[in-house]
Structures are given as structure tokens and as C-alpha cells.
Chains A and B, each alone.
Chain A
Amino acid sequence: MEVATSAAPTALETFRMETRAWLEANCPESQRQSVKSYTDMYWGGKNPVFNSDDQKVWFERMLEKNWTVPHWPKEYGGGGLSKEENKVLKEEMGRLGCRPPLYNFGISMLGPALLKFANDGQKDHFLNLITAGKLWWCQGYSEPGAGSDLANLQTSAEDKGDHYLVNGQKVWTSFADKSDWIFCLVRTDPEAPKHSGISFLLIDMSSEGVSTRPIKLLSGNSPFCETFFDNVKVPKENLVGKENAGWTIAKYLLTHEREMIGGVGDTEQKTPLHKFALDHVGLENDILADTILRGDVAKWEMDDAIFKMTISRTMDEVKAGQSLGASSSFFKYYATELNKQKLELQMSLAGTAGNQWEGEASDEGRLPRYFCRTKANSIEGGTSEVQLNIISKRILGLPSK
């Protein structure tokens, strides 16, 4: 869907032309291929690991342009781009297939929360480190007893005057074993009702008493860890917002996490599903040889095409000053369910070849491993059921009792 922009088309067109030319001249060829997994992405951090020279060159060129986080304010190392300009940049990067130069939960999740809730000193310090890719962040939310019921978290932070003493365990901490810092929800008031005793704390992972253990998943990968805190001292200046007011920040950040997960399809292969189907099943009498799967593929492609129109419509409504029609819960729910359906269909279309777990022919089981991974789409960041609860209560106004 093309969506016309109302703001100064000529200036924006110039920006588009310049951006296109710059990207074509500066984005190395190898950085124009879709990422196969998180190991292809550059995550930054204190001990940066580039998996190729091109990746390094691309990151450094984009950093110089302040385009690691193009839409953040310039004072924090962002590009200061307007919404429209940022959209143009995304479109132009999408056109060439340019990978984002830097992936980081500091950008997609923590940053928006800091911009809204942190004090000036924290913003200045942490946001600049994030845009420069100097810190690898992980998220300390879930606990063994606090999944969908996140507010039930028990990790404690005891007031010891100049510092908090943190004890407890987090789970599903993405890349905790590689991270430099963690943004964490902790209980600072055990007596208060569960939502009112929570604070938002930033913790240096190299602090004494922090340890991690990777969790092996269905896909064979281990991007998630358990993270343990054993008498960890955390300076009070690392508290974001007010003590015991962390739940508001947590919810705000979850909105951004939902949007990020809602965009799961974005970094995956752009090949239309029916092309995949044709490659694996072929044509017979001018239609896909498996006529039942043909119907399923068409249904999926229609739903996907229409869902993308809803994304455009929502952006247009916001631009036109109308209130947000659809919530992030809707996008998170629908996008993740669509992505799961897509991989189910690809597994069906690929047949037994799609079951190969190892070996070069299967690219080390790329399809079945990704298939397994997508099952988490509708669990992480709030399950589909939690999203449906939110829609029922907040949008439809259905009663709780």
C-alpha cells in the first residue's frame, strides 16, 4: 500500500533521493541480505563481536550518520529524524534490503522508557551509550513464578541506605550471558499490594553476585538464560522513576516490546509465501499442485496483505490526529499468530525435507528450527491470551466481575 504523506512532499522527496543514494553508496553488499538468525545481527556491547568486516563498516558508517537510532533526539546520539523521514529511511533500507546496523533491547525497549521516565543525568548517560552501541542490554522481567502474572514478581531490592541489596531469580532473560547491563523489575515494598511495590532498576551485569545459566530451547538454540542475583549491591542512582512506581514504566515498556515482537515478520525473508509454495510443490494445470494447501496459502496471503493495510491505516489515523484505533495488543496478537501460521504452512509445503534438523542441504535445519522458534512468538512479551484479555477489558470494556 502506498500511503501519501501530507507533510512537505518536496523536502521529503529530496530526503528520499539523498538517502537512497547514500545507502546505495555505503551499504556493503553482504549487509543487504536478510538476517537468518540473531547470530547474523550486530548487538554492540562492551566487547563487540563483528562477524565480518562488512558488518563493522556498515555499523561504523551508520553510527557516523547518527542512524543507529535515527528517530531519537540528536542530543542523545540519535538522528533527530521526523516520523516521516524515519519512515522514508525505513522504506529505503527495506528497498535495498539493508540490515539494521545495530540490534539492541536498549533501542527497542529500554530507550523509549528512559526517554519518558528517566532523569536528565540518566538520559544523558545511558541513551548516548545505547545509540553508540556501547552496552548490550537484557531485560529482567519474568520469574519462575511470574510469567503472565508478571506483577507477582519476588526478586527483592532492600533499601540499605546508599544502595539496594538485590536477591532473587529472573528467567527468559534474552542473551543475559552476553549482556553488559540488565533493566530489571524488583520488589521494593513487600507489604504493598503487588502492583504498588515494584521498582525499575538498572543493574550492571558485572556486579558481584550476578550469575547466568543458558536455557536450551526446542530449536536447539539458547538465546535465553536464567539470571540469579545473590546479595547484589546496586547504587541508588540506578533507580529509574520513583521507588515503588515501577509498574507504570514496566507497562509502558511492554507496549514497545509488543510492537517489536509484532514486527517479527519484518526481519525474516521477504519472499512471498506463494513463491515458497511454488518452489516446493509446483504447478499442475496452472494452479498450485496441492489444491488444499493452495487455499490455505491464499487465505494466509490475504490475511497478511490486509493486516499490513491496518498498520498503514493506523499510522494514517495517528497522523490525521485521530486516536489510536487499534492497540498494540491487537498488533502483537495478530502479527504473532500470522507468523506462526506462516511457518506451519511452510512446514506442510516443504514436506519431509522440512523436517531435516542437521546437514548442509537443510542449512542446518533452518526451517524446522525457525518453526520451533515461532511458537514463542505468542508466549513472549505477553501471551496471546493476555493480549486478548487486554483487548476485552480496555477496548471492548467487558466487565471483570
Chain B
Amino acid sequence: MALVLTEEQSMLKSSAREYLKENAPVAALRKLRDDKDEKGYDPTVWKAMAEMGWASLTIPESYGGLDFGYTGLGQILEETGRTLTASPLVSTVLLGTTLIKQGGTEAQKAALLPEIAEGNLLIALAAEETSAHKPTKIAATYTSLGKTHAVSGKKVFVLDGHVADKFIVSATRDGKTSLLIVNADAKGVSVERTIMMDSRNAANVTFDNAEAILLGEEGNGIAVLEATLDIARIGLAAEMLGTTCEAFDRTIAYLKERQQFGVPIGVFQGLQHRAAHMYCEIENCKSVVIAALQAIDKGSKKVPMLASLAKAKLGKTLQLVSNEAIQMFGGIGMTDDEEIGFFLKRARVAQQTFGDYNYHLDRYAKMNNY
């Protein structure tokens, strides 16, 4: 497959850019933060996103979706990365939909996916237990109560945890790992919202014998979780590409406009070469993101490898670009009034999410047997 977008994908991308610029710019995130907004996202914007079909892109037509593919979703995510838009796209569409598609029973798909497509149902994956990403090291357990089950354990960094309607929880029983669905209002669920540096939603969630049902079959938790996480890593890499590009564009614009010593600071070679180097790294980021997104849609066996390549490369490059952005903006970049700081703060959270640079470097080496 050629590493270029189709016409439909390009159109989706530009319409998303227009919508987000108007309705969910960086200023909207600032407002959510400053208002200490209870939800941490704008339900009106989320409703509009669902109406535009953004929540249905990866849902098969038979479940009320558009079946447009992950490459298409990646374009939306990239644009939300430019505007730093807080929305349930990552928790519910990238993770939730994929988990249900990969692991759910026919009945679960038929019940849940159309609700997600409509924007009526928010899902949160409760998988992490430590501050380092170790998705397969699971202390949470569940017991069988016949038809239903009961989950106990402590989960951290649950994206959109305090607004979700349902959790999908990883837990073990007798050496088997499964994923279980828990209603947010079930007895034994306690949620503590954590305010993160990027002003996006996360929570610590404790389950104390909370009533649960299995997502699909018992014992296939690791397989479904790993497959979903790889897709999520690629989707997040697409979002990070948008954040990287926007921070870079703003920095280049600033280099052309900011005057010191009677000239725009962009004339200085000390800055030019660093900017040019970032340009090169960003070109590479664009390549790995589109290759990885297309691999998901093709059902390629290379998805795990590409997921680690994409997440590692974007993590490293976004770190570089967000740091250089602050340095090149100088003093003004340190102020809360200037928006560039929001990109640095989002960068650090995104870098950690679904495994940081070192995690994926190590994983890549292991996949190549060294």
C-alpha cells in the first residue's frame, strides 16, 4: 500500500482540522482547566464529534459504524493533537471500541458498539497498576459467582476513569488473565480523579468485589489487551504527531517574528540548525505513523513491531520538539499566558502513556531476539 492518504482520508483530516480550530482549540483546554471543569471534557463537542461519525470510524457497519478504518481515525487523532483537544476519543474509541471488537462476544458487540457510535457510552480501560507501564503484570484478581464475577484490585492512570460509564478491567484467576466489564456505578467501585499536568482526564480506581461480567472468553485477556494496546500506541502516536507538528510550526513562526539585536532570531544559525534537524525527525515521524496506521487496517503481522517503532520515535521526537519550543520561545515560553507550554505538558503525559521510549526500545530489541 502506498504511504499516502486516500482522497477520503485527506478530506476527513481537513474537515477535522477546521472543526477543531473553531470549536476545540487550545484555549478550550485552558478553560476546562481554569474552570476546574467536573467532566474534564466538553460534552457538546463530544456529541458533535459523534454526530460527525468520529466515534464510529472503526466500528463495522453491522454494528452501526462507518468501518472507515484506523488510518482515518489516525487523521482525526492527529488533528486533536494539534489543538490538544480533551475528548473521550482515546479512552472510548481507540481503546474501548478496539477492546470490544477484539475480545467481546457477538451479544456484547451488538449491545455496546452502537452506543459508542452514538456518543452515549464512555468506556475506560483499567489496566495499569504501577507508575511504570507493565500491562501484563497484574495483581488484580476476580472470582467466579456463577454467571457473574467479582473483581478486586487497584488500578492507576485510568484514562477518563472518573467520567466513564463502564470499565474494562484486567484481572487474573487461577493463573488465567481475563478482561471484565464493570459498571461505574456498581457497588465496590471507588474512583479518585487525578489532576494531571496535561489537564487531561485520569483516575485511580479501586475495585472491591465489584460485580463484573467477562469480556468475551475467559483467559484471553493478555492477547486482547496486547492487541488493543498496540493499536492504541499507534493511535496515540498519530495524536503525538499532531502535537509535534503544531509545536514545531508555532516555533518556526516565532523564529520569524521575534526580533532581537534588530533582526528576527530565525537568522541565527545556532537556532536554524536545530530547527532543520527537528524538521528531519518530523519527516521520519510522519512516515512511521502512516505506515503503522495502514498496517492496522491491513491486519499486518508487523503491527506490534510498528507500534513500538511509532511510539518510541514519536515519544523521542515530541520530547525534543517540546523542549526546543520552550527554549526558542525564551522567557515568554515559561509563562502560562503563552500556549506553547501546554504542548510541553501534554508531551510528557503522552510520552508515558502506553509505554515510554525505553519500554518500546527494549521491546523492539526483544522482538529482534537481542
**Interface positions of A (Cβ within 8 A of B):** 1, 3-4, 6, 272, 274, 277-278, 283, 287-288, 294-295, 297-299, 301-303, 305-307, 309-310, 312-313, 316-317, 319-320, 322, 325-326, 330, 333-334, 385, 387-389, 391-393, 395-401
Establish whether residues A399 and B264, one from each chain, have CB atoms under 8 Å apart when the complex forms: yes
Q: Which of B1, B3, B264, B286 has the largest count of A CB atoms less than 10 A from its CB? A: B3
Q: A298-B365, A309-B288, A396-B275 are in contact. List 8 more A-B contacts (CB 8 A).
A: A295-B358, A298-B361, A298-B368, A303-B284, A310-B284, A326-B283, A398-B275, A400-B267
- Inter-chain CA distance A118–B323, complex, in Å, is 49
- Select which of A272, A313, A392 is within 8 A of B273 by beta carbon: A392
The answer to whether the Cβ of B252 comes within 8 Å of any Cβ in the partner chain is yes
Contact A4 B2, beta carbon cutoff 8 Å: yes
Interface centre among A4, A288, A297, A398 (most CB of B within 10 A): A398
Taking the nearest CB of chain A, how far is it from the CB of B290, in angstroms? Answer: 7
A396 to B274, CA, bound (A): 12
Whether B276 contacts A392 by the Cβ 8 Å rule is yes
Q: Could you jot down 20 A-B contacts, CB within 8 Å?
A: A4-B2, A6-B2, A287-B366, A297-B370, A298-B368, A302-B312, A309-B284, A312-B3, A313-B3, A313-B291, A316-B4, A322-B4, A325-B283, A330-B279, A330-B280, A388-B273, A389-B269, A395-B279, A397-B252, A399-B264
Contact of B280 among A4, A313, A317, A333 (CB under 8 A): A333
Closest Cβ neighbor of A296 among chain B residues = B361
Contact B256 A397 (CB under 8 A): yes
The answer on a CB contact under 8 Å between A1 and B291 is yes
CA distance A316 to B256 in the complex (A): 32
Interfacial chain B residues near A326, Cβ < 8 Å:
280, 283
Which residue on B lies nearest to A283, using beta carbons? B370
- A302:B272 contact, CB within 8 angstroms: no
Q: Across the interface, which residues of A come within 8 angstroms of B86, CB to CB?
A: none
Expressed in whole angstroms, the minimum distance between the Cβ of B340 and any Cβ of chain A is 17
* A319 surroundings in chain B (CB, below 8 A): 2
Given the known interface contacts A297-B370, A395-B279, A397-B256, the answer about A316 and B313 at a Cβ–Cβ threshold of 8 Å is no
Question: Looking at the complex, which one of A294, A309, A313 makes contact with B365 (CB distance below 8 Å)?
Answer: A294
Contact, CB under 8 Å: A288 / B4: no
Q: What count of chain B residues pass the 8 Å CB interface test? A: 40
CA distance A391 to B4 in the complex (A): 23
Most chain A beta-carbon neighbours within 10 Å: one of B267, B283, B364, B370: B370
Closest to A1 in B: B291
How many Å lie between the Cα of A229 and that of B263 in the bound state? 44
A4, B298: Cα distance in complex, Å: 13
How distant is the Cα of A334 from the Cα of B312 in the complex, in angstroms? 18
Residues of chain A contacted by B272 (CB below 8 angstroms): 388-389, 392-393, 396, 398
Bound form: Cα–Cα A388–B280 in Å:
9
The 8 closest A-B pairs by CB, nearest first: A392-B272, A391-B276, A309-B287, A313-B3, A316-B2, A388-B276, A398-B266, A310-B287
Contact B252 A398 (CB under 8 A): yes
Taking a contact as CB atoms under 8 Å apart, the answer to whether A306 and B284 are in contact is yes
User: Nearest-CB distance from A36 to chain B (Å)?
Assistant: 26
Give chain A residues whose Cβ lies under 8 Å from the Cβ of B369: 274
> Nearest Cβ in chain A — how far from B291, in angstroms?
5
How far does the alpha carbon of A391 sit from the alpha carbon of B3 in the complex, in Å? 23
Question: Which residues of chain B are within 8 angstroms of A294 by Cβ–Cβ distance?
Answer: 365, 370
Known interface pairs A287-B366, A305-B309; A398-B277 also in contact (CB < 8 Å): no
